[in-house]
Chain A
Amino acid sequence: MSRSTRFDTKKVNSELVTLTYGTLVAQMVKDLDNPDDVSKQLDRIGYNMGIRLIEDFLSKTGTGRCLDLKDTADKIQTAFRLYLGVQPNVVNWSPAGDEFSFILDSNPLTELVELPEDLKSLKYCNIICGAIRGALEMVQLDVQSWIVQDQLKGDQNTEIRVKFIRRLEDAMPAGED
Protein backbone atom coordinates (compact mmCIF):
# COMPACT_ATOMS: atom_id res chain seq x y z
CA MET A 1 0.00 0.00 0.00
CA SER A 2 1.21 3.49 -0.68
CA ARG A 3 2.31 5.43 2.30
CA SER A 4 0.56 8.55 1.14
CA THR A 5 -1.40 8.68 4.36
CA ARG A 6 1.70 8.64 6.52
CA PHE A 7 2.91 11.48 8.67
CA ASP A 8 3.55 14.78 6.83
CA THR A 9 3.80 13.37 3.35
CA LYS A 10 0.60 14.76 1.98
CA LYS A 11 0.83 18.50 1.74
CA VAL A 12 -1.51 20.97 0.16
CA ASN A 13 -0.93 24.58 -0.67
CA SER A 14 -1.96 26.69 2.30
CA GLU A 15 -3.73 29.10 -0.04
CA LEU A 16 -6.17 26.36 -0.87
CA VAL A 17 -7.01 26.10 2.81
CA THR A 18 -7.26 29.89 3.15
CA LEU A 19 -9.59 30.17 0.20
CA THR A 20 -11.78 27.23 1.14
CA TYR A 21 -12.13 28.48 4.67
CA GLY A 22 -12.83 31.96 3.35
CA THR A 23 -15.64 30.65 1.18
CA LEU A 24 -17.14 28.85 4.13
CA VAL A 25 -17.09 31.92 6.37
CA ALA A 26 -18.37 34.19 3.61
CA GLN A 27 -21.26 31.84 2.97
CA MET A 28 -22.08 31.65 6.65
CA VAL A 29 -22.04 35.44 6.94
CA LYS A 30 -24.52 35.55 4.07
CA ASP A 31 -26.73 32.88 5.62
CA LEU A 32 -26.77 34.01 9.21
CA ASP A 33 -26.35 37.80 8.94
CA ASN A 34 -25.50 38.12 12.64
CA PRO A 35 -21.69 37.94 13.11
CA ASP A 36 -22.05 36.52 16.62
CA ASP A 37 -24.02 33.58 15.29
CA VAL A 38 -21.35 33.01 12.69
CA SER A 39 -18.67 32.96 15.39
CA LYS A 40 -20.72 30.48 17.38
CA GLN A 41 -21.23 28.23 14.38
CA LEU A 42 -17.53 28.36 13.50
CA ASP A 43 -16.73 27.25 17.01
CA ARG A 44 -19.17 24.37 16.64
CA ILE A 45 -17.71 23.29 13.32
CA GLY A 46 -14.27 23.44 14.88
CA TYR A 47 -15.44 21.31 17.79
CA ASN A 48 -16.80 18.67 15.46
CA MET A 49 -13.56 18.70 13.52
CA GLY A 50 -11.55 18.42 16.72
CA ILE A 51 -13.30 15.33 18.02
CA ARG A 52 -12.41 13.50 14.81
CA LEU A 53 -9.04 15.05 14.14
CA ILE A 54 -7.66 13.97 17.51
CA GLU A 55 -7.64 10.34 16.39
CA ASP A 56 -5.68 11.31 13.33
CA PHE A 57 -3.18 13.16 15.48
CA LEU A 58 -2.83 10.29 17.95
CA SER A 59 -2.51 7.62 15.30
CA LYS A 60 0.07 9.51 13.31
CA THR A 61 2.23 10.85 16.10
CA GLY A 62 1.76 7.98 18.55
CA THR A 63 1.84 10.31 21.55
CA GLY A 64 0.77 9.16 24.97
CA ARG A 65 -1.50 10.73 27.54
CA CYS A 66 -0.40 14.06 28.99
CA LEU A 67 -0.36 14.46 32.71
CA ASP A 68 0.26 18.20 32.90
CA LEU A 69 -0.79 21.20 30.89
CA LYS A 70 2.74 22.03 29.71
CA ASP A 71 2.83 18.71 27.99
CA THR A 72 -0.58 19.38 26.45
CA ALA A 73 0.58 22.79 25.20
CA ASP A 74 3.62 21.17 23.57
CA LYS A 75 1.47 18.65 21.81
CA ILE A 76 -1.00 21.19 20.53
CA GLN A 77 2.00 23.08 19.22
CA THR A 78 2.97 19.97 17.26
CA ALA A 79 -0.59 19.73 16.00
CA PHE A 80 -0.47 23.32 14.73
CA ARG A 81 2.64 22.45 12.79
CA LEU A 82 1.09 19.29 11.46
CA TYR A 83 -2.25 20.69 10.36
CA LEU A 84 -1.61 24.36 9.67
CA GLY A 85 2.10 24.43 8.99
CA VAL A 86 2.78 27.11 11.57
CA GLN A 87 4.75 27.00 14.77
CA PRO A 88 3.03 29.07 17.47
CA ASN A 89 4.82 30.17 20.63
CA VAL A 90 3.43 29.13 23.96
CA VAL A 91 3.45 32.15 26.28
CA ASN A 92 1.63 34.00 29.07
CA TRP A 93 1.30 31.14 31.53
CA SER A 94 -0.99 32.00 34.40
CA PRO A 95 0.63 31.70 37.86
CA ALA A 96 -1.49 28.63 38.60
CA GLY A 97 -0.28 27.03 35.41
CA ASP A 98 -3.80 26.38 34.18
CA GLU A 99 -3.91 28.93 31.39
CA PHE A 100 -1.67 29.75 28.47
CA SER A 101 -1.66 31.38 25.05
CA PHE A 102 -0.55 30.45 21.61
CA ILE A 103 0.94 33.33 19.65
CA LEU A 104 0.79 32.99 15.88
CA ASP A 105 2.82 35.53 13.89
CA SER A 106 1.21 34.34 10.71
CA ASN A 107 -2.10 32.61 10.46
CA PRO A 108 -2.77 30.64 7.29
CA LEU A 109 -6.52 31.06 7.74
CA THR A 110 -6.34 34.85 7.53
CA GLU A 111 -3.54 35.26 5.00
CA LEU A 112 -5.62 36.98 2.30
CA VAL A 113 -8.38 38.34 4.48
CA GLU A 114 -9.52 41.82 5.49
CA LEU A 115 -12.56 42.23 7.69
CA PRO A 116 -15.14 44.76 6.48
CA GLU A 117 -16.34 47.42 8.95
CA ASP A 118 -19.70 45.81 9.66
CA LEU A 119 -18.09 42.49 10.64
CA LYS A 120 -15.69 43.82 13.25
CA SER A 121 -17.21 41.60 15.90
CA LEU A 122 -16.74 38.42 13.84
CA LYS A 123 -14.29 35.95 15.36
CA TYR A 124 -12.90 34.79 12.07
CA CYS A 125 -10.57 32.10 13.44
CA ASN A 126 -12.98 30.71 16.00
CA ILE A 127 -12.76 27.35 14.27
CA ILE A 128 -9.31 26.83 15.81
CA CYS A 129 -10.66 27.42 19.32
CA GLY A 130 -13.43 24.91 18.66
CA ALA A 131 -11.00 22.36 17.31
CA ILE A 132 -8.73 22.63 20.37
CA ARG A 133 -11.71 22.24 22.70
CA GLY A 134 -13.13 19.26 20.80
CA ALA A 135 -9.84 17.44 20.48
CA LEU A 136 -8.96 17.84 24.15
CA GLU A 137 -12.41 16.74 25.22
CA MET A 138 -11.85 13.42 23.50
CA VAL A 139 -8.75 12.85 25.61
CA GLN A 140 -10.73 13.73 28.72
CA LEU A 141 -9.57 17.31 29.20
CA ASP A 142 -12.19 19.98 29.56
CA VAL A 143 -10.81 23.32 28.39
CA GLN A 144 -12.04 26.71 27.30
CA SER A 145 -10.46 28.42 24.36
CA TRP A 146 -10.92 31.88 22.92
CA ILE A 147 -9.23 34.51 20.79
CA VAL A 148 -7.53 37.34 22.68
CA GLN A 149 -5.72 39.14 19.89
CA ASP A 150 -6.53 39.03 16.23
CA GLN A 151 -4.39 40.26 13.36
CA LEU A 152 -7.59 40.97 11.47
CA LYS A 153 -8.48 43.53 14.11
CA GLY A 154 -5.18 45.35 13.93
CA ASP A 155 -3.28 43.42 16.60
CA GLN A 156 0.34 42.49 16.13
CA ASN A 157 -0.23 38.74 16.41
CA THR A 158 -3.03 36.29 16.72
CA GLU A 159 -3.31 35.07 20.28
CA ILE A 160 -5.38 32.06 21.25
CA ARG A 161 -5.92 31.51 24.94
CA VAL A 162 -6.54 28.08 26.43
CA LYS A 163 -7.85 27.60 29.96
CA PHE A 164 -7.89 24.25 31.70
CA ILE A 165 -11.16 23.60 33.50
CA ARG A 166 -11.00 20.01 34.70
CA ARG A 167 -10.16 16.45 33.82
CA LEU A 168 -13.20 14.47 32.78
CA GLU A 169 -12.61 11.56 35.15
CA ASP A 170 -15.92 9.87 34.49
CA ALA A 171 -15.25 9.77 30.76
CA MET A 172 -11.88 8.14 31.28
CA PRO A 173 -11.72 4.82 29.49
CA ALA A 174 -11.09 1.77 31.66
CA GLY A 175 -7.44 0.98 32.11
CA GLU A 176 -6.50 4.61 31.62
CA ASP A 177 -7.68 6.16 34.85
Chain B
Amino acid sequence: MVIYGIYIVSKSGGLIFNYDHTVPKIETTRRFTYPIDLKLNYESKKISVQFGQRDGIHVGHVLTAINGIQITGRQLDDGKDAVEILESKENYPLTLTFERPKMTTNEKIFLASMFYPLFAIASQLSPEPKSSGIELLEADTFKLHCFQTLTGVKIMVVVDKNQIGAEVFLKRVYELYADYALKNPFYSLEMPIRCELFDQNLKTMLEQIDKGGIASI
Protein backbone atom coordinates (compact mmCIF):
# COMPACT_ATOMS: atom_id res chain seq x y z
CA MET B 1 0.00 0.00 0.00
CA VAL B 2 1.43 3.34 -0.98
CA ILE B 3 0.02 6.04 1.24
CA TYR B 4 1.62 9.44 0.87
CA GLY B 5 -0.20 11.41 3.48
CA ILE B 6 -3.20 11.65 5.75
CA TYR B 7 -5.09 14.84 6.51
CA ILE B 8 -8.00 15.55 8.83
CA VAL B 9 -9.97 18.76 8.37
CA SER B 10 -12.37 19.95 11.04
CA LYS B 11 -15.99 20.88 10.50
CA SER B 12 -15.05 24.53 10.14
CA GLY B 13 -12.34 23.83 7.56
CA GLY B 14 -9.15 24.00 9.59
CA LEU B 15 -6.45 21.38 9.26
CA ILE B 16 -6.39 19.55 12.58
CA PHE B 17 -4.11 16.69 11.70
CA ASN B 18 -1.63 15.73 9.04
CA TYR B 19 0.82 12.94 8.74
CA ASP B 20 3.30 12.28 5.93
CA HIS B 21 3.89 8.64 5.28
CA THR B 22 6.08 7.16 2.54
CA VAL B 23 7.32 10.25 0.78
CA PRO B 24 10.87 9.40 -0.25
CA LYS B 25 13.40 12.16 0.18
CA ILE B 26 15.06 12.98 -3.10
CA GLU B 27 18.36 14.73 -2.64
CA THR B 28 21.15 15.24 -5.16
CA THR B 29 24.56 16.69 -4.48
CA ARG B 30 26.83 17.70 -7.36
CA ARG B 31 29.96 19.68 -7.97
CA PHE B 32 29.56 22.70 -10.22
CA THR B 33 32.11 24.82 -12.04
CA TYR B 34 31.58 28.35 -13.32
CA PRO B 35 29.33 29.10 -15.13
CA ILE B 36 26.65 26.94 -13.60
CA ASP B 37 24.65 25.03 -16.18
CA LEU B 38 21.28 25.39 -14.47
CA LYS B 39 18.92 28.33 -14.51
CA LEU B 40 18.20 29.19 -10.89
CA ASN B 41 15.47 31.43 -9.70
CA TYR B 42 14.89 33.07 -6.35
CA GLU B 43 11.27 33.48 -5.42
CA SER B 44 9.02 32.94 -2.43
CA LYS B 45 12.04 32.47 -0.19
CA LYS B 46 13.43 29.55 -2.15
CA ILE B 47 16.19 29.17 -4.69
CA SER B 48 14.78 26.72 -7.17
CA VAL B 49 15.73 25.24 -10.51
CA GLN B 50 13.85 27.02 -13.25
CA PHE B 51 15.29 25.35 -16.30
CA GLY B 52 17.86 22.72 -17.13
CA GLN B 53 17.38 19.21 -15.89
CA ARG B 54 20.21 16.73 -15.42
CA ASP B 55 21.64 14.01 -13.17
CA GLY B 56 18.61 13.75 -10.93
CA ILE B 57 18.23 17.49 -10.50
CA HIS B 58 14.82 18.38 -11.82
CA VAL B 59 13.03 21.57 -12.58
CA GLY B 60 11.32 22.67 -9.38
CA HIS B 61 13.91 21.26 -7.00
CA VAL B 62 15.22 23.67 -4.41
CA LEU B 63 18.77 24.45 -3.40
CA THR B 64 19.22 23.34 0.21
CA ALA B 65 22.97 23.56 0.80
CA ILE B 66 26.16 25.05 -0.62
CA ASN B 67 29.38 23.18 0.19
CA GLY B 68 27.43 21.28 2.82
CA ILE B 69 26.21 24.43 4.59
CA GLN B 70 22.43 24.60 4.91
CA ILE B 71 20.38 27.43 3.45
CA THR B 72 17.38 29.05 5.08
CA GLY B 73 15.57 31.34 2.70
CA ARG B 74 18.49 32.76 0.75
CA GLN B 75 20.87 32.97 3.67
CA LEU B 76 23.44 30.34 4.49
CA ASP B 77 23.78 29.12 8.03
CA ASP B 78 27.11 30.95 8.35
CA GLY B 79 25.44 34.25 7.51
CA LYS B 80 26.49 34.64 3.87
CA ASP B 81 24.06 35.35 1.09
CA ALA B 82 23.53 32.35 -1.16
CA VAL B 83 22.65 34.28 -4.30
CA GLU B 84 25.84 36.35 -4.04
CA ILE B 85 27.99 33.25 -3.64
CA LEU B 86 26.40 31.66 -6.69
CA GLU B 87 27.00 34.76 -8.75
CA SER B 88 30.69 35.38 -8.06
CA LYS B 89 33.11 33.39 -10.15
CA GLU B 90 35.89 33.14 -7.57
CA ASN B 91 33.81 30.91 -5.28
CA TYR B 92 33.69 28.08 -7.79
CA PRO B 93 33.88 25.11 -7.88
CA LEU B 94 30.87 24.74 -5.56
CA THR B 95 29.14 21.66 -4.23
CA LEU B 96 25.41 22.22 -4.40
CA THR B 97 22.68 20.10 -2.87
CA PHE B 98 19.24 20.09 -4.41
CA GLU B 99 16.13 18.56 -2.97
CA ARG B 100 12.55 18.03 -3.94
CA PRO B 101 10.67 20.81 -2.13
CA LYS B 102 8.75 19.82 0.97
CA MET B 103 5.49 21.38 1.98
CA THR B 104 5.68 23.43 5.12
CA THR B 105 2.98 23.17 7.76
CA ASN B 106 1.68 26.58 6.74
CA GLU B 107 1.33 25.51 3.14
CA LYS B 108 -0.54 22.41 4.24
CA ILE B 109 -2.93 24.45 6.35
CA PHE B 110 -3.46 26.73 3.38
CA LEU B 111 -4.14 23.84 1.00
CA ALA B 112 -6.49 22.17 3.44
CA SER B 113 -8.57 25.30 3.69
CA MET B 114 -8.54 25.52 -0.13
CA PHE B 115 -10.01 22.06 -0.43
CA TYR B 116 -12.91 22.99 1.80
CA PRO B 117 -14.67 25.35 -0.66
CA LEU B 118 -13.81 23.06 -3.58
CA PHE B 119 -15.66 20.28 -1.83
CA ALA B 120 -18.66 22.55 -1.29
CA ILE B 121 -18.62 23.80 -4.89
CA ALA B 122 -18.54 20.25 -6.20
CA SER B 123 -21.73 19.41 -4.35
CA GLN B 124 -23.44 22.47 -5.80
CA LEU B 125 -22.21 21.97 -9.36
CA SER B 126 -23.83 18.60 -9.44
CA PRO B 127 -26.62 18.11 -11.99
CA GLU B 128 -28.42 15.88 -9.49
CA PRO B 129 -29.79 17.33 -6.26
CA LYS B 130 -28.40 16.10 -2.94
CA SER B 131 -24.97 15.31 -4.23
CA SER B 132 -22.03 14.69 -1.99
CA GLY B 133 -18.85 16.70 -2.33
CA ILE B 134 -15.57 15.47 -3.83
CA GLU B 135 -14.90 11.91 -2.82
CA LEU B 136 -12.06 11.16 -5.17
CA LEU B 137 -9.68 13.50 -6.89
CA GLU B 138 -7.43 11.85 -9.41
CA ALA B 139 -4.19 13.10 -10.91
CA ASP B 140 -1.50 11.37 -12.94
CA THR B 141 0.73 10.72 -9.94
CA PHE B 142 -1.68 10.33 -7.05
CA LYS B 143 -5.27 9.95 -5.94
CA LEU B 144 -6.88 11.89 -3.13
CA HIS B 145 -9.72 10.15 -1.35
CA CYS B 146 -11.95 12.19 0.90
CA PHE B 147 -14.47 10.89 3.39
CA GLN B 148 -16.80 13.30 5.12
CA THR B 149 -18.43 12.09 8.30
CA LEU B 150 -22.03 12.98 9.12
CA THR B 151 -20.76 15.52 11.59
CA GLY B 152 -18.76 17.31 8.89
CA VAL B 153 -15.22 16.20 9.68
CA LYS B 154 -13.26 15.40 6.53
CA ILE B 155 -10.64 12.69 6.46
CA MET B 156 -8.40 12.71 3.41
CA VAL B 157 -5.73 10.40 2.23
CA VAL B 158 -3.29 10.86 -0.64
CA VAL B 159 -2.36 7.52 -2.18
CA ASP B 160 -0.62 6.13 -5.23
CA LYS B 161 -2.81 6.29 -8.32
CA ASN B 162 -2.98 2.49 -8.55
CA GLN B 163 -3.94 1.99 -4.95
CA ILE B 164 -7.31 0.44 -4.23
CA GLY B 165 -9.16 0.03 -0.97
CA ALA B 166 -8.57 3.54 0.37
CA GLU B 167 -12.21 3.73 1.50
CA VAL B 168 -11.65 0.96 4.03
CA PHE B 169 -8.57 2.72 5.26
CA LEU B 170 -10.45 6.00 5.73
CA LYS B 171 -13.10 4.25 7.83
CA ARG B 172 -10.37 2.83 10.05
CA VAL B 173 -8.76 6.23 10.48
CA TYR B 174 -12.20 7.53 11.48
CA GLU B 175 -12.44 4.85 14.14
CA LEU B 176 -9.03 5.79 15.46
CA TYR B 177 -10.07 9.44 15.53
CA ALA B 178 -13.23 8.58 17.46
CA ASP B 179 -11.27 6.43 19.89
CA TYR B 180 -8.01 8.17 20.52
CA ALA B 181 -8.72 11.81 19.83
CA LEU B 182 -12.32 12.28 20.92
CA LYS B 183 -12.20 10.04 23.96
CA ASN B 184 -9.17 11.89 25.23
CA PRO B 185 -10.65 14.27 27.80
CA PHE B 186 -7.82 16.76 27.25
CA TYR B 187 -8.48 17.07 23.55
CA SER B 188 -10.83 19.91 22.73
CA LEU B 189 -12.97 19.67 19.63
CA GLU B 190 -11.91 21.54 16.50
CA MET B 191 -8.35 21.92 17.80
CA PRO B 192 -5.29 20.32 16.23
CA ILE B 193 -4.92 16.70 17.30
CA ARG B 194 -1.82 16.31 19.40
CA CYS B 195 -2.49 12.95 20.94
CA GLU B 196 0.38 10.55 21.33
CA LEU B 197 -1.91 7.51 21.35
CA PHE B 198 -3.59 8.55 18.15
CA ASP B 199 -0.23 8.94 16.39
CA GLN B 200 0.98 5.63 17.75
CA ASN B 201 -2.06 3.68 16.68
CA LEU B 202 -2.09 5.29 13.28
CA LYS B 203 1.55 4.37 12.78
CA THR B 204 0.90 0.81 13.90
CA MET B 205 -1.90 0.56 11.39
CA LEU B 206 0.24 1.99 8.60
CA GLU B 207 3.03 -0.45 9.39
CA GLN B 208 0.57 -3.27 9.26
CA ILE B 209 -0.69 -2.11 5.90
CA ASP B 210 2.86 -1.83 4.58
CA LYS B 211 3.42 -5.43 5.56
CA GLY B 212 0.13 -7.12 4.84
CA GLY B 213 -1.75 -4.83 2.48
CA ILE B 214 -5.04 -3.07 2.99
CA ALA B 215 -6.90 -6.31 3.65
CA SER B 216 -5.00 -6.84 6.90
CA ILE B 217 -6.77 -4.09 8.84
Residues of chain A having any CB pair with chain B under 8 Å: 1, 5-6, 51-56, 58-60, 62, 64-65, 138-139, 171, 173-176
Contact A55 B177 (CB under 8 A): yes
Would you list 25 pairs from A and B whose C-beta atoms are within 8 A, ordered by A residue?
A1-B205, A1-B208, A6-B175, A55-B149, A55-B174, A55-B177, A55-B178, A56-B179, A58-B151, A58-B178, A59-B177, A59-B178, A60-B175, A60-B178, A65-B150, A139-B151, A173-B11, A173-B151, A174-B119, A174-B123, A175-B120, A175-B122, A175-B132, A176-B132, A176-B148
Residues of chain B from 87 to 124 with CB closer than 8 A to chain A in the complex: 119-120, 122-123
Which residues from B are CB-within-8-Å of A54? 151
Contact A52 B182 (CB under 8 A): yes
- Looking at chain B, what size class is its interface with the partner chain? 20 to 34
Nearest first, the 6 closest Cβ-Cβ pairs linking A and B are A173-B152, A175-B133, A174-B120, A175-B123, A52-B182, A55-B178
Q: A31 to B171: give the CA distance in the assembly, Å.
A: 42
Q: A173 to B149: give the CA distance in the assembly, Å.
A: 9
Residues of chain B having any CB pair with chain A under 8 Å: 11, 119-120, 122-123, 131-133, 148-153, 171, 174-179, 182-183, 189, 201, 204-205, 208, 217
Q: Kindly provide the distance from the CB of B7 to the nearest chain A CB, expressed in whole angstroms.
A: 16
Most chain B beta carbons < 10 A, residue from A6, A64, A138, A173: A173
Q: Kindly provide the distance from the CB of A115 to the nearest chain B CB, expressed in whole angstroms.
A: 28
Which residues from B are CB-within-8-Å of A6? 175
Contact A174 B178 (CB under 8 A): no
Q: Kindly provide the distance from the CB of A56 to the nearest chain B CB, expressed in whole angstroms.
A: 4
Q: A88 to B120: give the CA distance in the assembly, Å.
A: 39
Q: Kindly provide the distance from the CB of A172 to the nearest chain B CB, expressed in whole angstroms.
A: 8
Which residues from B are CB-within-8-Å of A138? 151
Instruction: Name the residue on B nearest A51 (C-beta).
Output: B189
Contact B174 A59 (CB under 8 A): yes
Most chain B beta carbons < 10 A, residue from A6, A53, A56, A62: A56
Which residues from A are CB-within-8-Å of B119? 174-175
Contact B171 A59 (CB under 8 A): yes
Which residues from B are CB-within-8-Å of A176? 132, 148, 150, 152
A1-B217, A173-B11 given. 14 additional CB < 8 A pairs?
A: A1-B201, A1-B204, A5-B176, A52-B182, A56-B182, A59-B149, A65-B150, A171-B152, A174-B119, A175-B119, A175-B122, A175-B131, A176-B132, A176-B152
Which residues from B are CB-within-8-Å of A139? 150-151
Contact A175 B171 (CB under 8 A): no
Checking B152, B171, B183, B208 against A52 with a beta-carbon cut-off of 8 angstroms, the contacting residue is B183
Q: Kindly provide the distance from the CB of B147 to the nearest chain A CB, expressed in whole angstroms.
A: 10
Q: A62 to B167: give the CA distance in the assembly, Å.
A: 13
